[in-house]
Structure 1
């Protein structure tokens, strides 16, 4: 099993309908590929952890790299893991596109990454949420 974490920047504005469509697509595709993960969106940037078999993640990353909704994709982590650390959901999606959501984002992301064994990876997600909540 592998874990990939990447960051990217949105290319175009994503309204509520676009975010719902993104989540549904990710849930269906990830479930079909046997991939779990967490996607956090702060209104401008994404950070996503994906966990699954190497071949499934390669397929998924190819799709992500060609997705017109975002750019500047940077892989931050690509490592072997013994078990999924970001939960057993096909895609947990957290976002904060307004100030009311931003305050909850940090607490929610902290809870989401509590089982992650790498403290640097925990800090990356929590730091991302903190910065996003200050926009």
Structure 2
């Protein structure tokens, strides 16, 4: 895998689905993302809840920016907004082509102290808020993923 050194760009964006996604459509989208991203050595995480997406893309800067622009033009969603773009020393999601978690309420709600919505990212959040949100979502996703594997 390339892009493991200082040339790794991490880009986080949020967007709204053009229409509600059913579980089968989300699985299809995830399959497409994994296939396409593996071909260009992009890793990341995809979260979906209540018609909103948040995605982390990691890889070589030019590749990630080109992918983000292609995503921006995708008619399946709108109101794409880049929350954070930063160089990182290593990938946060090196083992995934694309991690995925459909966020739901009820028993699957986030533990106390962790976010389970994107509400505070709708406002014009600053870069520190976006970094904190990414750290919390990353931790939440990894804990949930590990728990579902152990179950």
Both proteins in one fold, TM over 0.5? yes
Residue number in structure 2 paired with 1:37: 44
Does the residue aligned with 1:106 lie in a helix, a strand or coil? coil
Q: 2:64 aligned with 1:57, yes or no? A: yes
Q: How does 1:101-112 map to 2 (within 5 A)?
A: 103-104=107-108, 106=110
C-alpha deviation, 1:105, in angstroms: 5.2
Does the residue aligned with 1:73 lie in a helix, a strand or coil? strand
The answer as to whether partners of 1:95 and 1:105 remain within 8 angstroms in 2 is: no
Residue number in structure 1 paired with 2:122: none
Equivalent pairs, count: 115
Point out the structure with max Rg over C-alpha. Answer: 2
The answer as to whether partners of 1:43 and 1:95 remain within 8 angstroms in 2 is: no
C-alpha deviation, 1:122, in angstroms: 1.7
User: Normalising to structure 2: TM-score of the pair?
Assistant: 0.68
C-alpha deviation, 1:62, in angstroms: 1.7
| RMSD over aligned Cα atoms | 2.3
Structure 2 spans left out of the alignment, 5+ residues: 1-7, 115-130, 142-151
More helix by share: 1
The answer as to whether partners of 1:94 and 1:105 remain within 8 angstroms in 2 is: no
Residue number in structure 2 paired with 1:93: 100
Report the CA distance shift for 1:99/1:25 in structure 2 as closer, same or farther (over 3 A). Answer: same
- Paired with 1:106 and 1:32, the residues of 2 have a C-alpha distance of 32
Q: 2:28 aligned with 1:21, yes or no? A: yes
C-alpha deviation, 1:37, in angstroms: 0.4
- Paired with 1:19 and 1:120, the residues of 2 have a C-alpha distance of 23
The answer as to whether partners of 1:9 and 1:72 remain within 8 angstroms in 2 is: yes
